[in-house]
């Protein structure tokens, strides 16, 4: 309960920051990506501003044994660059450029422009579902290969 309240607070602060920064506006995001056209550099300040507290937070994290409201840190430890990361980033960038929306602003906009945000978020979840279906199909195939003695 305490953890969920913490997460709700963090989410609300995140959403408020998106709304204040201008990043909730798809046209501004597309303007930021339009470096060969009418470039709008405002979002550089958003990214710069966001990196400051997080840069400090990582330094504090390195000195902590456990987070303040949970038992332990659960952080990604993968370091290798693989085809999945690269192709995923390429695809995400294309979608981001087409509509000017990434997941955070899209979900925040559910409260600010419900109709178009809902269409985008629903499609986004469908894209996530397609990914889950494809990868869950992959897994049993790999398993049958490793326990291949019984296989054909």
Partner 1 sequence: MQQAWIFGLLGGLMIGGAAALMLLGLGRIAGVSGLAARAVGLADAGPPPALAIAFILGLPLGGWLMAQALGGVSLHFPPNIATLVIAGLVVGFGTRLGSGCTSGHGVCGMSRFSRRSISATLIFMASGIITVAAMNLVGLS
Q: Give the pair of three-digit tokens for residue 2.
A: 């305490």
Rule CB under 8 A: say whether 141 interacts with partner 1.
Answer: no
> Helix crossing, 26-33 with 42-63: angle to 10°?
90
Site for partner 1 in 4-23 (CB under 8 A): 4-23
Give the residue with the Cβ less far from partner 1, 4 or 149.
Answer: 4
User: Rounded distance, CA 124 to CA 116, Å?
Assistant: 12
Residues with Cβ within 8 Å of 72's Cβ and at least 6 positions away in sequence, in order, are: 66
Instruction: Tell the smallest beta-carbon distance from residue 119 to partner 1 (Å).
Output: 5
User: Rounded distance, CA 57 to CA 77, Å?
Assistant: 17
Rule CB under 8 A: say whether 52 interacts with partner 1.
Answer: yes
Rule CB under 8 A: say whether 137 interacts with partner 1.
Answer: no
Site for partner 1 in 85-104 (CB under 8 A): 85-104
Rule CB under 8 A: say whether 76 interacts with partner 1.
Answer: yes
User: Rounded distance, CA 124 to CA 143, Å?
Assistant: 29
Site for partner 1 in 21-40 (CB under 8 A): 21-28, 30, 33-37
Rule CB under 8 A: say whether 143 interacts with partner 1.
Answer: no
Instruction: Tell the smallest beta-carbon distance from residue 150 to partner 1 (Å).
Output: 25
Q: Other C-beta atoms within 10 Å of 18: how many?
A: 21
User: Rounded distance, CA 2 to CA 69, Å?
Assistant: 8
Give the residue with the Cβ less far from partner 1, 134 or 149.
Answer: 134
Instruction: Tell the smallest beta-carbon distance from residue 93 to partner 1 (Å).
Output: 2
């Amino acid at each position: 309960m305490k953890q969920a309240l913490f997460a709700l607070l963090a989410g609300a602060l995140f959403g408020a920051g998106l709304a204040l920064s201008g990043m909730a506006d798809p046209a501004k995001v597309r303007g930021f990506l339009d470096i060969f056209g009418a470039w709008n550099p405002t979002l550089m300040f958003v990214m710069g501003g966001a990196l400051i507290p997080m840069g400090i937070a990582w330094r504090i994290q390195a000195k902590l044994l456990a987070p303040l409201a949970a038992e332990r840190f659960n952080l990604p430890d993968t370091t290798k660059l693989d085809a999945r990361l690269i192709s995923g980033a390429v695809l995400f960038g294309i979608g981001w450029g087409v509509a000017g929306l990434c997941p955070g602003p899209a979900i925040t906009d559910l409260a600010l422009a419900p109709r178009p945000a809902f269409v985008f978020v629903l499609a986004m979840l469908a894209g996530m579902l397609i990914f889950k279906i494809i990868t869950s199909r992959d897994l049993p195939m790999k398993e049958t290969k490793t326990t291949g003695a019984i296989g054909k």
